Amino acid sequence: MYTVSIKELVTFHCKNRPLCLGCSRQLKRLDSFTRCSGCSRISEREAHCQDCLAWRQRYPQLKLKHQAVYAYNGFAREMVKQFKFSGDCELAAAFSEEIKELTRCRRRSSLVIPIPISRSSIETRGFNQTELLLESARIEYQRVLENAFQREKQSKKTRFERLESPQPFIVRDRMEGEIKGKNLIIVDDIYTTGRTVYHAAQLLSQYNPASISSVSLFR
């Protein structure tokens, strides 16, 4: 089997165009597997996984359905690392079709809301990776949320620390009226524990939207 290295990917492949064949073969599309109907996690059956059941017990008012395109395998981790932490923002263009695919059927009369990152991450990285994915796909979005309290990166925390992390988000000034009655689509680059998405959904649900769903590139 042909294996493409991350160096090769960054040097030769996948910039400003759809994914090349070598990279596509190493990314696992989730629609090729049986998945949890709540979060798109690869599962033996389509019923809700234990994580989703736990979230529903914790937030019974939320009936969140999350969809993602690719499994967050080793190759995907390397791509994300290159994209987010090495500043290779051109990789966002490689996933423009996938981002369009995730939001296409929901976008009419919907409000697309990217997950915000902390001020320190913006200062270090120079961009919000989720906003960049949306911009590369030419999808309009609104900066409804602000990450006002999260200082430590989620990637540095243990699973338990992530699950028990306090609400980091606030609704930006004068955005409350944009939420009421709208179909909201929360967008993030990666869904792991679900903590970030559920923080966002729980906060947004207080402003009476018509519905809330969420999507990510990786799960």
How confident is the model over 1-29, as pLDDT tens digits? 434 444 444 443 555 556 778 888 899 99
Is 67 a residue whose pLDDT tops 70?
A: yes
**Using alpha carbons only, how large is the chain's radius of gyration in Å?**
17
Q: Give Cβ neighbours of residue 48 (< 8 Å, ≥ 6 apart).
A: 36, 37, 38, 56
User: Stretch 182-204: mean pLDDT, rounded?
Assistant: 97
At 55 the pLDDT is 96
Is 106 a residue whose pLDDT tops 70?
A: no
Span between the terminal Cα atoms of the chain, in Å? 24
Residue 91: pLDDT band by 50, 70, 90 thresholds?
A: confident
At 187 the pLDDT is 98
Is 135 a residue whose pLDDT tops 70?
A: yes
- CATH fold, domain 6-218, is Rossmann fold (3.40.50)
User: Stretch 121-140: mean pLDDT, rounded?
Assistant: 93
Q: What is the token pair recorded at 212?
A: 């809330």
pLDDT higher at 61 or 151: 61
52 neighbors 44 (Cβ within 8 angstroms) = no
At 210 the pLDDT is 94
User: Stretch 18-47: mean pLDDT, rounded?
Assistant: 90
Strand 169-171 and strand 66-70: the pairing is unpaired
User: Stretch 144-167: mean pLDDT, rounded?
Assistant: 79
What is the average pLDDT score of the chain?
87
pTM assigned to the model: 0.87
Is 101 a residue whose pLDDT tops 60?
A: yes
At 133 the pLDDT is 95
At 154 the pLDDT is 62
Q: What is the token pair recorded at 61?
A: 């008012």
Is 131 a residue whose pLDDT tops 90?
A: yes
Residue with tokens 């602000």: 146
